[in-house]
Amino acid sequence: MTDGSIRKARAARTIRTGWTRQPLDLAKAGDMLRDYAIPCDGDPYEAVVYRDREGCHRRISARYADGWALQINFALSGKVSSYSLSCSLRGTVQK
């Protein structure tokens, strides 16, 4: 590959989507987050919403103090298309 084709391939992978990241108002979205984050204790300490160029919600990410992380993806119609929960556990091993 030539140097020019490498730059073009790299540019094709880094196309900007136009999504903006904003803090999420937990007072408005708290009930929806509780519906999807069943094993999580309490409210998230960090929650952000990603909006597309038209201002529609496309993704919500929330992090909880007990190690859980929630991600909700929205379709163009505004309905939830998918969601995922993941947990980060840390521990120590003692001899």
What is the percentage of the chain residues whose pLDDT exceeds 90? 35
2 within a domain of the structure (yes/no): no
Task: Say if CB 36 and CB 72 are below 8 A apart.
Answer: yes
32 within a domain of the structure (yes/no): yes
Number of structural domains, the chain? 1
80 within a domain of the structure (yes/no): yes
Task: Say if CB 44 and CB 22 are below 8 A apart.
Answer: no
8 within a domain of the structure (yes/no): no
Dump pLDDT digits (tens) for 2-46: 556 665 555 555 555 688 899 998 888 888 888 888 877 888 889
Q: Can you give the residue range of the structural domain that contains 40?
A: 17-87
4 within a domain of the structure (yes/no): no
Q: Report the alpha-carbon distance of residue 11 to residue 13 in Å, rounded.
A: 5
Spatial strand order in the sheet of 57-63: 20-23, 46-51, 57-63, 68-74, 80-87
Let me know if 52 is exposed, middle or buried by CB neighbors in 10 A (0-12, 13-18, 19+). middle
49 within a domain of the structure (yes/no): yes
71 within a domain of the structure (yes/no): yes
94 within a domain of the structure (yes/no): no
